[in-house]
Amino acid sequence: MAVTPAVETDAARSVTLRRAGVELVLDLASGYPVVLHWGAPLGDVDADALRALKDGGIPHSDLDEPVDPGMLRESARGFTGRPAIRGHRGATGFSPLFEVTAVTVRDDACTVALVDTALELSLELVLALSPEGVLLIDAALTNDGDTVYTLDELALWLPVPDRATETLDFTGRWLKERQPQRLAFAPGLRLRESREGRSGHDYTIVQCALTPTTTTEEGEAWGVGLLWSGSSRHLAERAVTGRAALGAGELIEPGEAELEPGATYRAPTLAAFYSDEGLDGVGARSHSWLRSRPSHPSTPRPVTLNVWEAVYFDHDLDTLSRLAATAASVGVERFVLDDGWFGSRRDDWSGLGDWVVSTDVWPDGLGPLVAAVREHGMQFGLWFEGEMVNPDSDVYRAHPDWILQVPGRVPPLARHQLVLDLTNPEAYAHVLEQVHAVISEHSIDYIKWDHNRFLTDPGHEGVPAVRRQTEALYRLFDELKDRNPGLEIESCASGGGRIDLGMAFHADRFWTSDQNDALERQQIQRWTSLVIPPEMLGTHVGPTISHGTGRRHGIQMRAVTALFGHAGIEWNLLEATEEELSALREWTAFYRAHRGLLHGGRVVRVEHPDPSAVVHGVVAHDRASAIFAYVQCTTTSGTTPASFRLPGLDPAARYRVRAEQFAEPATVQRRGPAWLDGLEVSGAALASVGLRPPVLWPEQAVLVVVERVS
């Protein structure tokens, strides 16, 4: 899209932004910002006509002249729901009323300047549509007065149409993250808060509004997510008028945003997604947007072995060297040494914070293991948990004041650890220098950065510090990368406890969940990838018997599940059978041959009529190829299972479809379906008639490969 020169006006009546099938119409005629429309392009409709279409007359019991609450939702204009900005100057300055003073417009963005002269505040809103159709909104609030202004909340809100009568968000816990909650968009406020000082296992990533007929494949969806990794709020409110809106913002601790005269608070960026192609359309926009970042990983995502569930704290050079050799033999490309290599860290009671190689476990340092790994052509990765400290550590004994705390008390322990105060320059420097020293000494390619507890009493010198702690971590990651070109960072927080759009701009990979059970992973991976592209999500083949559930799964089920992401292994391969190792070789070869599609195509979540099964896949953007998975979670409802569709292909093209098996899945039938060994058929038939799966035992999976032949 061509970008016109910026135009500044003092009295712009409306602004229309239109890009990639999304349109935003912002009404400024009344002197404050009102979103008249956010959704599909409306064609030749001007703002005056939109105002008339949205006019509801004057009902009894309302204001004499009812007004749209607009983006700021100010009570001073008669809005009785949750306002966008809440704050005060002591006992005064509690009710803002902003007026537009200037507007700067481009084809794809506009900046709106507003002032409240009575409260001595100024506000700048920047709204921009990315080339992918993602709406990005920034807000900056400045204290123009000569006394302190206390900001309690600044949330960014967008209205959704009346037909959006349902909400979708996500809940979870450790080992069971991102579980969907689809509810009626009822009157009142739905508030999802994260008060952990991180996004957390219960974090929703995106708050959606849907029509009743919206599915993963069809219908309209609106969603908002926050580019922020600290405490946050996601909100959905239907007012007494019947109108509904979505909002999100940082959760500001009491006193955390005390704006001195002249000071500015900059809210985390809001990303807003609209789709008329179902929830998969939301995902397609978000994936394309995140993939367009200059920092997005550009090299093929290596098959990764992490040794945590293989050896835990039992580090031994001979064992790990043999494990590295076996890993290389099955096609692993990156070997990651997990917790236990440093200080007094023989268990999780001590050593955190002392980022020096343990001479007890590694008398010759890490060099011999690094050399053994690299002799096999693999990258070497290392685990850190730099934001944490054990009381039983050298650094804590020397600096007990280097923790986040309320003065005069020590927070309760979680996993025998406390949180280092990275807003303290000395503590920050300690972590940066010790971590950098280890990375640079061994030219380490990759670090797994863990965060195994939430924040409690997160203060610095008596002042709340969640915001500054989050910014310090961003700064730390960026500086480690600047000092060590090519370094990649995985964000892990007891698994999936810090996966958010903010961290996506500082980390290269997320550990999706500590849950490696392939059955539990179905929903976790399905919904974590709604806005995070699969190449950023660690998906590993776990042990035969899951360490998280005790379930036993065959290699086919585990391998198919781990394929749809940044694939790897979390398993002691020295205990694997020759049959399992052979299957892993075939699996890694398949992954390497197809990761361009798996990490660059459009993710498809197929609506399947039988709830006993899950179907999903990835389709190339040119529709020349696709890979789908059919996963039998429980027993089928019929003696022959329901056919599953393969949508997203070219209806007029012919495709060869076949099953790919790394090991034989267990079935309950004398003969498998005719298509398993290969069949040529039209894309229209695959999307409509679909394929009849084998009659599988529960917790078995079939992988389907689709390639265009004409």
- Helix, strand, coil percent values for the chain (each to nearest 5): 20, 30, 45
209 in Cβ contact with 164 (< 8 Å): yes
Give the C-alpha distances (Å, rounded to integers) separating 95 from 79, 118, 151.
Answer: 11, 10, 12
Per the DSSP assignment, residues forming a β-bridge with 630 are 615, 702
Beta pairing partners, 679: 657
Q: Which residues contact 643 (CB under 8 A, 6 or more apart)?
A: 689, 690, 691, 692, 693
User: Is 450 assigned a catalytic role?
Assistant: yes
Q: How many CA atoms lie within 13 A of 484 on its CB side?
A: 23
* Spatial separation of the C-alpha atoms in residues 336 and 405, rounded to whole Å: 33
Alpha-carbon gap, residue 342 to 365, rounded angstroms: 10
Nearest to 211 by CA among 21, 20, 39: 39
Residue positions counted in the chain: 710
Q: Which tokens is 354 given? A: 């002392």
Q: Which two tokens stand for residue 656?
A: 């060869």
512, 537 Cβ separation under 8 angstroms: yes
**Three-class SS of residue 619?**
strand
Confirm if 499 and 532 have CB atoms less than 8 A apart.
yes
Element (H, E) at 232: strand 232-238
Question: DSSP per residue over 270-287, as a string?
Answer: EEEEEESBHHHHHHHHHH
- Do 384 and 449 contact (CB within 8 A), yes or no? yes
**Pick from 190, 192, 197, 191: nearest CA to 253:** 197
The H-or-E segment that residue 208 falls in is: strand 207-210
> Contact 566/607 with Cβ under 8 angstroms?
no
Structure tokens at 294: 């200059």
Catalytic residue among 280, 450, 508, 610: 450
Residue 574 CB: number of other CB atoms within 10 A? 14
Strands 446-449 and 156-160 turn out to be unpaired
**Beta carbons of 324 and 376 less than 8 angstroms apart:** yes
| 514 catalytically annotated | yes
Q: Note the Cα 162 to chain centre separation in Å.
A: 28
Of these residues, 280, 514, 517, 610, which one is catalytic?
514
Closest to 690 (Cα-Cα) out of 601, 628, 612, 611: 628
**How far, in Å, are 526, 588, 601, 678, 705 from residue 598 at the CA level?**
14, 13, 6, 21, 12
Return all residues near 132 (Cβ < 8 A) that are at least 6 apart.
20, 285, 288, 289, 292
Q: How far apart are CA 230 and CA 253, in angstroms?
A: 11
Q: What tokens were used for 569? A: 């292994």
Hey, is 357 helix, strand or coil? strand
Sign of CA dihedral 144, 148, 149, 153: positive
Residue 133 DSSP code: S
Rounded to 10 degrees, the C-alpha dihedral 317/322/327/330 comes to 170
Report yes or no: 327 and 569 within 8 Å, Cβ to Cβ: yes
Q: Rounded to an integer, what distance in angstroms lies between the CA atom of residue 324 and that of residue 334?
A: 9
Single-letter code of the amino acid located at 40? A
Longest dimension (CA), the chain: 83
Enumerate the active-site residues: 450, 514
